[in-house]
Structures are given as C-alpha cells and as structure tokens.
Chain A
C-alpha cells in the first residue's frame, strides 16, 4: 500500500517557468512533510519541509502548499532553472524517523 502518492512521474518546464509537483497522503497521523532533491549519483538532500499546522512555507524559490483537509501538499519551484533538473521526492513521517517517500518526479528544465 502506497502511503504517499506523488505526481507527475516526470515533468518538463521551460526555464523561468513554475514547476509544480503534487503529493497526497492517507494517514492523518503524519506530522512532518519534507521534500527531497536528488541528483544522479547522489543521496537525497532535504529541500524544504512543513508541519500540518502551517498552510504554506516559502524558502527562496521553493514553496510548499499544504491542504490538511484534502490531505494534499505540493511543491512549487518559481523561476525554474536548468540547475533545478533533478528527481524530487515528497515524503511524510509521523513522530518518528521512519520517512515514507513518494515514488519521485523527474524534473527537466529546458534552457
């Protein structure tokens, strides 16, 4: 059973555009929702994270929007750059360190 569902599987965006990746979860006990960025040959790196008491969090060009009632959250990358081309994972955890990852979105930014 997939606890965190992520879409789309792949995404192509023009340079300067907005990249949007969506995730949905089922378990209301989740209380921590991080996003990770992974480049080929590297481990995942924490990009930004949110807790369910906040509806939005922004760090630079990256914004998480969180909808608790719909059990959905999304990552928006503003002014997307070729260097943002990577695989992005949404994830969730519930008070412990067992992070449950989505299947990933392969993002490609066209120069």
Chain B
C-alpha cells in the first residue's frame, strides 16, 4: 500500500526562479498539508487543503501558494526563490481534517 509520494526528490534552483513541488496523498485521503523543514529545525506549517479548499495557512509570504486537485493530489508553488527557501518540503495527508497526518519523504530544495 503506497504511502504519501512526493516529486521530485531533490531540486536545485537559483535565486529568483520559481518552483513547483508535487504530492500524491495516500489513497482515500482527502486532506493534504505542506510543511517546510529547515536543516536542524522542526517542520513548519505552510498550508492545509481539504476537498480542494484551503483550510489553513501558516506564517509564510505570498510567494508561497498551493492548490489541491479533484484527485486530491496537491502542488506547492514558490515564486521569486530566496536562499532562505532552501529546505526539505514535506507533504502530509490525512483521511479528513483533524485526523492523523502521514508524512511523505519530502522534496529537498536547494536555492543557489
């Protein structure tokens, strides 16, 4: 049984570029959340989506955006990349809101 999958696994971008990260939730899960994990720190909440609607947003600038598709997969977009955006981006899925979240392996983004 497949867990949460994320693509790509690694990504290198330069400052000012834009990036799109993808997440496929566990089959049957309708909620997807995104987290940023800077090296040596705990994950920080970015967004949560449920049934294609945004349910929550963390303290991140408007350069960060996301969406959820009818098949419940999700994309995280980051515009005008900064060096400080270098991090592991984690996607987590849950059956519904306020249910246990299961994390994917993450996408490691390096901004040069």
Contacts and interface: CB of A to CB of B under 8 A. Distances in A.
Contacts of B56: 96-98
B87 to A, nearest CB: 13
Contacts of B101: 46, 97, 99
A100 B56 CA distance: 13
A43 B105 contact: yes
Interface stretch (A11-19, A59-67, A77-85, A101-109): A101-109
Contacts of B41: 103-104
Given A43-B4, A44-B90, A101 B44 contact: yes
A42 B102 CA distance: 12
B42 A46 contact: no
B103 interface: yes
Nearest to B88: A43
Nearest to B33: A97
A96 B43 CA distance: 16
A15 to B, nearest CB: 26
Q: Which residue among B41, B42, B92, B101 has the maximum number of chain A CB atoms within 10 Å of its CB?
A: B42
Interface in B12-42: 31, 33, 35, 40-42
B38 to A, nearest CB: 10
Contacts of A43: 4, 90, 92, 103-106
B45 A99 contact: yes
Contacts of A4: 42
A97 B104 contact: no
Interface in A43-93: 43-46, 49, 89, 91
A103 B90 CA distance: 16
A37 to B, nearest CB: 11
A98 B94 CA distance: 12
29 contacts: A6-B42, A36-B103, A42-B106, A43-B90, A43-B105, A44-B90, A46-B101, A49-B100, A89-B42, A95-B98, A96-B55, A96-B56, A97-B31, A97-B33, A97-B56, A97-B94, A97-B98, A97-B101, A98-B48, A98-B56, A98-B58, A99-B33, A99-B45, A99-B101, A101-B44, A103-B40, A103-B41, A103-B42, A104-B42
